[in-house]
Amino acid sequence: MMDWAHTRVVVTGGAGFLGRVVCEKLAKRGCRHIGVPRRHEFDLTTEVGVRTMYDRFEPDVVLHLAAEVGGIGANREHPGRFFYANAAMGLHLIEEARIRGLCKFVQVGTVCAYPKFTPVPFQEKDLWNGYPEETNAPYGIAKKALFVMLDAYRKEYGMASSVVVPVNLYGPGDNFDPRSSHVIPALIRKCVEAIDTQQRQMVCWGTGSASREFLYVDDAAEGILRAAEELEDPVPVNLGTGQEITIRNLIELIAELTGFRGEVVWDDTKPDGQPRRCLDTSLAGELLDWQANVGFREGLKHTIDWYHNSTRLSKAA
């Protein structure tokens, strides 16, 4: 087990949606030295920015959560930036970790790394059996390249690391910006705004036939810390619930929970993305003694309540 009380930790992306929960859980585990690099101070896509960050925080362990990422629209608009930023961040962070002899490097990957037509449920052994879904391939491949880098560094330099591959996350504090949000916050916002403006219709991308799996942010944070505590080798480990839902059924559920009673219109000129996503999480149970605990309906209620409260506070301000 990691002695968190005497470990200096850097959480890249620690001020973000997932990172804040990871930092909270670290503090509850007794960690007293948690460094959270902010973008305006450290450009982690550059060698200079990464070295400056390491000099400032002097970590023993790095939990690399930071990413430039978004939904299908953002991936289509910024494929070059998403590849460069995510590859460059990981490249410099891992190399500097090697140079400084860190105790451990934890890489948070993405389900977008899986091939487009991976057999369901996705097993870690299938990560390399094909090309990812085209709209998010640059992002997914950039992240997957870091898995290879960590494996190579383990073999050549003995550098300890671990890799987790979470499905799409959701929960309180998620990104609800329509320009870059993922499907759950985007749909919650659409439903709430349709109700507020008394719209009778809501337009959604694609056909609704694609399926997705979603993991509550607290469960993901726990899985990341379990990987930091238990693993020394960068064997990719899925984090998910093992349950999938079609986008059409997801919208019906969110409409029910938000109170939207209008018509959903499907814009099939827009892409569905990967046809299906659902993970086999048996390896996480075996290696990490981890499983998701928050039910999907319960998690959605928490997320919707948080969004309602945050919008009320912003209007009051």
Residue positions annotated with a catalytic role: 139
Concatenated DSSP letters of 22-67: HHHHHHHTT--EEE---TTT--TTSHHHHHHHHHHH--SEEEE---
Measured CA to CA in angstroms, residue 151 lies from 53, 105, 112, 140 at distances of 24, 11, 19, 17
CA dihedral 260, 261, 267, 270 (to 10 degrees): 20
Q: At a CB cut-off of 8 Å and minimum separation 6, what does 63 contact?
A: 9, 10, 11, 12, 14, 22, 106, 108, 224, 228
Distance of CA 44 to the CA centre of its chain: 18
Q: What is the CA radius of gyration of the chain?
A: 19
Q: What is the DSSP letter of 133?
A: P
- Cα separation of 57 and 37, whole Å? 9
Q: At a CB cut-off of 8 Å and minimum separation 6, what does 5 contact?
A: 30, 31, 32
Measured CA to CA in angstroms, residue 204 lies from 22, 67, 151, 169, 268 at distances of 32, 26, 40, 20, 9
- Cβ atoms of 122 and 277 closer than 8 Å: yes
- The H or E element spanning position 212 is strand 211-212
Backbone dihedral angles phi then psi of residue 117, each to the nearest 5 degrees: -115, 45
Backbone dihedral angles phi then psi of residue 250, each to the nearest 5 degrees: -60, -45
Instruction: Give me the residue label for tokens 């349709």.
Output: 194
Q: At a CB cut-off of 8 Å and minimum separation 6, what does 307 contact?
A: 176, 185, 188, 189, 192
